[in-house]
Structure 1
Amino acid sequence: MSYQPHPDFLQLFDAYTGPNSMAAELGAKRSQSAGDRSLLVSTGSDLVLFPGGGAAPIVESFRLSTRGFKELTAVSHLGTVAAWLAEMNESGDGDWRRWAEKVAAQCRAVRAVNADAYWRDVVRVAAWKGMETKIADVVDYACRATEALLADVLAHPERMTYAYLREHYLEPVETKTIAVPFNDVMVATFALTFLDIAHRTLSWVRAQDLDWSELMVMICGSSGRPTAGLTWATNSTCHILWRASGERFRPENMLIAPHAPGLTLDMINSGANLAEIEARYRAMWTRTRVTAEIGGKMFQGFPGFVPDINAAPIMTTDTKTLSEMPRLRYPDDRLTAIARLRLVMEDPRQLLSNSVSEFIIDELCHKDLNPAAVVIPGFTNVSYPARGRG
């Protein structure tokens, strides 16, 4: 005879956890009472503010749909591309040669369109104003260095190994085969990309009339890898909001909900029932918070949960392993900057942008949101070969 719980046990179970349970009912009532509170939803690429009281949502895109993101990210990824080619070769996959030729050809194509005017007049990113010539120099250098590496390993296939890649491209400290180690290029391009994202996001958030002590926030859906950005320490949106608020935002009001229903710009632009979507988000937020609040009251007198948002370790030359993201202490802290690159690759919890995000956010806030005053790791104090200006 197959097992089935007795119906009376099921009814007792459902009284608390079922769709018509006391928890669902209390959550719904709290959601209605919080209808005038602002709710900010981050989707991984957009910020959607539901001001409350039935007001229409306000939207700001900050990642994939923004100017220059794909251009600089494509250059950032060249170092990883080279590593994938080494992985393919070392695992016996002969297709690495076909991909190497394809990437080299695309680098040449990019150099043909890369120019000051492209970055100044076509991309036109406010945060990069005045940096366009050096950005074009970095892109040109990154493509040329990658093309040279690929030509070398295609002519000498035995060289397409991680050891050769590190010694002659990523970190050629001893061999000096290239002018700037490609590790610095990756730091610079990630930092420039996030400078724009942080500048626009911080400016937009600060322009909203928000009661930071009451603001409800949900981060929904995927951002980067499906395992990434699921905690305060691994999701840069948390730090952006905390700094934008002047550190007044309450961390307990931030919920990261990867399984929450999706919200896209297409849904907003196509006339989806946003009131229903907003109601679902509000119900999820309030029900989750009610549980947390009840826990504090039930177990008063025992140690309570306090989010630790400043737990980043400090690296030294003796540091051998890391379990959390180390703090970048100053722009030219190269050891930490590149260790952060390694950590975001190895730790599935991390967004790749986290290699520089927290430092750029803090610098922008310290410099009154003036991107021209920010010293950019891997870029500002690093000399890249200049292109021919003819």
Structure 2
Amino acid sequence: MRYQPNPHFMRLFELFTSAPDSIGRKLQQELGEAHSGTPMLVATGTDLVLFPGGGRPSTSVDFRKGTRGFFEITAVSHLGLAIPYLARLRELDHPSCKNDARELIAQCRVVQDFNSVSYWRDEVAAAAWRGHEEKITDLVDYTCATTADYLDRAIRNPKLLDFEYLRANLLEGDGPDAVPVSFNDMMAATFALSALDSVHRTLKWLRAQTIDWAQLMVLVVGAAGRPSAGLTWESNNVCSLLYEASGRKLDPARLIIAPSAPAIELEKLADGEASARIEGLYRRFWYTSLSSVEMSRLMWPDYPGFEKRIEKAPVVEDDTEVVYAMPVVRSVDDKRAIVTRLRYVMEDPAAQIATAGLQFVLDQSIANGNRPELVELPGFTYTTYPAGRRG
């Protein structure tokens, strides 16, 4: 017979914690009402929404997929992975490997024909990329042309898909048959370009708001890339972005990552009543997580307390073999750290892919007053891509 808890014990359990009118929920509700005027920032995988509190209307910004050129530059970045993935499929004797390669070749050539300076300047028109349009056009043309040529030759000469050869001549770019610009550099550049526009727009939006950072309640909700990614401060790129944007005034203990909380349907915020319900929902999530903090401090003030600390990022040296956290990039030519970050975000399921290019760009953006023209980009600023068809 299947075990069932005794109903009398269950009722005792419910009275404190799980019943709709439980003692715990009543305290959470009271705390929520007491702080209803405190500003709350809700971050999803793509948007930031600020609820100023006190019944004032919300405001929002799309900091990721709404970024102009996000899908275009990410599609090009992925070509640095596509060839190694096809190489692995070949090792596994996957029947569609050659057909997949031919389809990728064809699409690269289509993109080459479409790629132009005017497209990046007039249609994408990313403010943070202003002045870089010709170089971006060259980067895209070079990456598509190199991918198509490499795969075309690999179909006839499978040696090109041996990982030792591929690493030396395509990824690292230091082999005897190396491509002009390594795909490691290309991936670093495209990650950095994507981060540059996202960081620029987000910082601009945050600084236009009136935010009491020391009191701000932050809730990070929903999925953030892979199902297992972004569940800690160190692995979620929103945390460091907000912390630096606040001038490090944001209290890390007031930022709660709640992946089980629903994502925001932004179009519903235009309706005042619906917006109020949504705001109330997120405030309840925040106080559900934090009400125990207040009680702990009241109950055990003479015992050691918990303090959320931001861990210092490790430095990658020439002899570093393993990193236990995302390493810091010290300069634009710190290639060992830059590529280690690329490996880290692919190897740690808890990491968000986008964090690979964020830290160095964010640090410079903060230091330079959010002026993107002063930010140096790995694999881009001091890297020359062969001039291609610019349209």
Which residue does 2:13 correspond to in 1? 13
Alpha-carbon displacement from aligned partner over 1:287-307 (angstroms, at most 9, x marks no partner): 211112323444444443222
Which residue does 2:184 correspond to in 1? 183
Q: Does 1:273 align with 2:267?
A: no
The answer to whether the 8 A contact 1:89-1:161 is kept is no
Which residue does 1:238 correspond to in 2? 239
C-alpha RMSD of matched pairs (Å): 1.7
Alpha-carbon displacement from aligned partner over 1:73-117 (angstroms, at most 9, x marks no partner): 001111111122112111110211111111111111111111111
Alpha-carbon displacement from aligned partner over 1:286-336 (angstroms, at most 9, x marks no partner): 121111232344444444322222421111011011121011111110000
How far off is 1:389 after superposition?
5.6
Q: Distance in 2 between matches of 1:232 and 1:306?
A: 13
Q: Distance in 2 between matches of 1:267 and 1:161?
A: 52
Q: Distance in 2 between matches of 1:128 and 1:64?
A: 16
Q: Does 1:75 align with 2:71?
A: no
Taking a change above 3 Å as real, the CA distance of residues 158 and 97 of structure 1, as seen in their structure-2 partners, is same
Alpha-carbon displacement from aligned partner over 1:190-243 (angstroms, at most 9, x marks no partner): 000010000000110111000111111111101111111111111111111111
Q: Distance in 2 between matches of 1:297 and 1:334?
A: 50
How far off is 1:21 after superposition?
1.5
Taking a change above 3 Å as real, the CA distance of residues 236 and 389 of structure 1, as seen in their structure-2 partners, is closer
Q: Distance in 2 between matches of 1:266 and 1:46?
A: 12
Alpha-carbon displacement from aligned partner over 1:329-387 (angstroms, at most 9, x marks no partner): 11110000001000000001111111121111111000010000011111101121112
Q: Distance in 2 between matches of 1:58 and 1:39?
A: 11
Aligned positions of 1:107-122 closer than 5 A: 107-122=108-123
Q: Distance in 2 between matches of 1:55 and 1:8?
A: 45
Q: Distance in 1 between matches of 2:371 and 2:167?
A: 36
Which residue does 2:131 correspond to in 1? 130
Q: Distance in 2 between matches of 1:88 and 1:295?
A: 54
How far off is 1:269 after superposition?
5.4
Which residue does 2:348 correspond to in 1? 347
SS in 2 for 1:60: strand
The answer to whether the 8 A contact 2:115-2:140 is kept is yes
Q: Distance in 1 between matches of 2:82 and 2:273?
A: 39
Residue 329 of structure 2 aligns with an amino acid whose one-letter code is L
Which residue does 2:98 correspond to in 1? 97
Gapped regions of structure 1 (runs ≥ 5): none
Q: Does 1:63 align with 2:64?
A: yes
Gapped regions of structure 2 (runs ≥ 5): none
Taking a change above 3 Å as real, the CA distance of residues 348 and 29 of structure 1, as seen in their structure-2 partners, is same
Which residue does 1:165 correspond to in 2? 166
Residue 284 of structure 1 aligns with an amino acid whose one-letter code is F
Q: Distance in 1 between matches of 2:184 and 2:127?
A: 26
Aligned positions of 1:362-377 closer than 5 A: 362-377=363-378
How far off is 1:274 after superposition?
1.8
How far off is 1:43 after superposition?
1.2
Q: Distance in 2 between matches of 1:311 and 1:302?
A: 26
Per mean C-alpha deviation after superposition, the further-off stretch among 167-176 and 203-212 is 167-176
The answer to whether the 8 A contact 2:116-2:389 is kept is no
Which residue does 2:48 correspond to in 1? 47
SS in 1 for 2:50: strand
Q: Distance in 1 between matches of 2:39 and 2:340?
A: 38
Per mean C-alpha deviation after superposition, the further-off stretch among 158-167 and 223-232 is 158-167
The answer to whether the 8 A contact 2:316-2:328 is kept is yes
The answer to whether the 8 A contact 1:234-1:350 is kept is yes
SS in 2 for 1:273: helix
How far off is 1:2 after superposition?
4.1
Per mean C-alpha deviation after superposition, the further-off stretch among 365-374 and 146-155 is 146-155
The answer to whether the 8 A contact 1:43-1:264 is kept is no
**TM-score of the two chains, using structure 1 as the length reference:** 0.96
Which residue does 2:358 correspond to in 1? 357
How far off is 1:275 after superposition?
1.3
The answer to whether the 8 A contact 1:115-1:136 is kept is yes
Identity %: 42
Alpha-carbon displacement from aligned partner over 1:255-297 (angstroms, at most 9, x marks no partner): 1110002212244358882211111110110121111232344
Q: Does 1:229 align with 2:230?
A: yes
SS in 1 for 2:188: helix
The answer to whether the 8 A contact 1:26-1:287 is kept is no
Q: How many residues align?
A: 390
Per mean C-alpha deviation after superposition, the further-off stretch among 20-29 and 299-308 is 299-308
Which residue does 2:309 correspond to in 1? 308
**TM-score of the two chains, using structure 2 as the length reference:** 0.96
Taking a change above 3 Å as real, the CA distance of residues 23 and 338 of structure 1, as seen in their structure-2 partners, is same
SS in 1 for 2:75: helix
How far off is 1:156 after superposition?
1.6
Q: Distance in 1 between matches of 2:36 and 2:43?
A: 19
